[in-house]
Chain A
Amino acid sequence: MVFGRFFNWFLGLFGVSRQIRLGLYGATNAGKTTLANKISLDWTGEKVGKTSVVPHETRFVQKKEKVEIKTDGRKVLINLLDMPGIATKINYKSFLRYGMSKNKAKKRAKEATDGVIEAIKWLSNVDTVLAVMDSTKDPLTQVNITLLGNLESRKIPVIIVANKIDKKRSKPKRIKEAFPQYPVVEISALKGTNINDLYHAIAKHSRRAK
């Protein structure tokens, strides 16, 4: 670990930065793709994926490689990995209310279950994680607790992103109180509020996995 940090520091002296696989994890509809799009648009001018109010819009891992974030005089080169939302249940009937046909809803549910499995498998292939949480909702869900416990046991650095602070019902303080041991950045990925604070946090906390 010490050697790894020294190596990164040494490369940094020559303006070379190693790529960090930054995974965006969280429950469905927390705003992961909106955030991935914001980061990617800011530094590459291109979007990562499509967003939707219908849950499980992201059903496959979406990647954006070589995104260079420059902040505080530092450069961080990341591979952005937008993960499907993690869930313990997926009911095809919940998609019917969005006007989908039964067959289309069933297909979406099947793809969504595969997406959750893929996201979990990717946990062993990420260096740093942005745990995206919807600040209008109760953060003490089993999905959030399991995800953070898992990352902790794998010694993967985590930054909690308290998203959707532009909404009236937003209570980011609840997230800070629920998980006091993690750095929490309050943002609105949609409006771009406090996005620079997130870039500072990424530069400060992200590192390659051991």
Chain B
Amino acid sequence: MKKRVRKLKMDFVSSTTLDEKTEKKRIKFILDKVKDGSILVTDAVLNPKEEMSLIKETMRKVDDGFPGIEICSLKKQTRGFEFLVENLSDRRDKVRDFFGKLTGRKSSKKGLRTGITLIGPAKVIKSIKKNPNSFSVLAEA
């Protein structure tokens, strides 16, 4: 008797691909992949506000066949010059928001942080065990 092989799909997406998108499009891109059954891995970390928006959008998409997502990220600990650059990036986002509000042309393109993120369907990812500097994932197709 032939044993049924269960397949697990993983998509490795570069931070450049995500960085090119606006916040809204980025979240849509991630959720489309995950809702399609893929586990998405990227070399970037969403900022906390974006992560909350991702949870919010996920909740809007929850249905009988899609109970939600599992997400885990590890942010690179930045020091010295890198820390300064990251802070400047946060400030740049705030300045963009400010001028966006003034001009009425709101830009939602925001800088990602360096690190690693895994996002997958809750149906597939059974558990995530996180430590301060690592995480392990148990998944089942």
Interfacial residues, chain A to chain B (CB-CB below 8 A): 86-93, 106, 109, 113-114, 116-117, 120-121, 123, 138, 140-143, 145-146, 149-150, 152-153, 178
Residue among B49, B56, B130 making CB contact with A116, cutoff 8 Å: B56
Mark contacts of B47-69 with chain A using CB atoms, 8 A cut-off: 1 yes-contact digit, 0 otherwise.
11101100110111010100111
Contact A88 B48 (CB under 8 A): no
Contact B72 A142 (CB under 8 A): yes
Dominant SS at the B interface?
mixed
| 16 pairs, A vs B, C-beta closer than 8 Å | A87-B68, A88-B58, A90-B59, A90-B67, A92-B67, A93-B67, A113-B59, A116-B59, A120-B55, A120-B56, A121-B56, A142-B128, A142-B130, A146-B48, A146-B55, A178-B132
| A-B contact number at CB 8 A | 74
Interfacial residues, chain B to chain A (CB-CB below 8 A): 47-49, 51-52, 55-56, 58-60, 62, 64, 67-73, 122, 128-132
- When distances are taken between beta carbons in the complex, the residues of chain A under 8 Å from B51 are 142, 146, 149-150
Closest to A149 in B: B48
B16 to chain A, nearest CB (A): 23
